[in-house]
Amino acid sequence: MIKVMKMKRLLAIGLTTIIIACSGSENSQVQNQECFSTGEKTIKWTMVTTWPKNFPGLGMGPENFSDYVNEMTCGRMQIKVYGAGEFVPALGVFDAVSQGNVQLGHGASYYWTGKVKSSQFFTAVPFGLTAQEMNGWLNYGGGMELWEEAYAPFNLIPLAGGNSGVQMAGWFKKEINSLKDLKGLKMRIPGLAGEVFTRAGAETVTLPGNEIFLSLQQGVIDAAEWVGPYNDLTFGFHQVADYYYYPGWHEPGSTLEIIINKDAYESLPKDLKAIIKYAAKSANQEMLDEYTARNNKALTELIDKHDVDLRKLPDSVLRELKKITDDVMQDFIQDDPMAQKVYKSYKEFKEQVINYHRISEKAYIDTRELD
């Protein structure tokens, strides 16, 4: 009888232990699903951009970044995003962040070549690296360290913040059959590619995206490149230009940037610093994914619904532009040691990755096209 009672008591204790353990596990799971209150004051930052507010692709990059930071910090850090012109002019982002007027900016580094010549290489170079290759160079080829070095004198920390992939050559009001057709052409095209077009006889200007349509419509410019079908359809360029040319020789993998005021960044605790960096990595990849998914659908609509005349730039024109690019590049870096340093790294990585991609990416794509 005593043995039976002991067995019952031990069984009861065992069951109670299991119930408590399960209950504790359930409570832990519930707690893990919610944010733990740290009692810290909410950190509120401002982010200015060169893009229209909530613009598909480019403009959603900073919005996604802000959302990721808010979610990963459980609201401890909140970032308010302003579109171009809402807080500072589109091309005033660099100075606003550098001077500490705001903590964050989102744009394209080649807009700042007048201040930092080497910044050109961290967006895109004509006939240069693709998006996949750019990510490789930045993360594993020394590119990010050079970017940080170039921006350090301006009290800025750069991060990759998106990529559009291979862009389109642009919208033109007249046909381009030879290099002669570029003579006297007024085109919106920024960065190093603008200098290449200038050497080819065109007149180039830099305009923020929200000014392109009106400039084309009013005849201020004769041609413009923006991004690709997904964004170009949104802006309605097909209404004011007849010819849509490819490939995007000038921007084969345009990396966008998130810039952070260094003083503001250094004031953050270690975990928030890490969250900002990983949120940027996520936003960088997600933008490329979105363009990959949406560009062809938009191109189909432009052709089938809006009767856009899609054309490839003649090989003869592309060859001439490539020759001019080589000459322009040497002049571009001639008097700037930092630009020379960055270009050397960029060029060496490009030569290496081309060798492999010739027998991998290119070979596979060519194989996929076989009948």
Tens of pLDDT along 74-113? 999 999 999 999 999 999 999 999 999 999 999 999 999 9
List, in order, residues 6 or more apart from 199 with CB less than 8 Å away.
324, 327, 328
Residue 75 CB neighbours (<10 A): 12
pTM of the entire structure? 0.87
**What pLDDT, on the 0 to 100 scale, is given for residue 168?**
98
**Partners of 309 in the β-ladder:** 243
Nearest to 94 by CA among 82, 79, 112: 112
Which one-letter amino acid corresponds to residue 364?
A: Y
Percent of the chain with pLDDT over 70: 89
C-alpha pair distances (Å), 167 with each of 22, 90, 231, 352:
55, 21, 10, 23
Tokens of residue 165, six digits:
């992939």
pLDDT of 5 strictly over 60? no
Kindly tell me if the per-residue pLDDT of 351 is higher than 90.
yes
**Does the domain formed by 43-163+253-292 have CATH 3.50.50.60?**
no
pLDDT of 1: 42
Residue type, position 259, single letter: I
In Å, how far from its chain's centre is CA 176?
29
* Averaged pLDDT score across all residues of the chain: 91
Helix, strand, coil share of the chain (percent; to 5) = 55, 15, 30
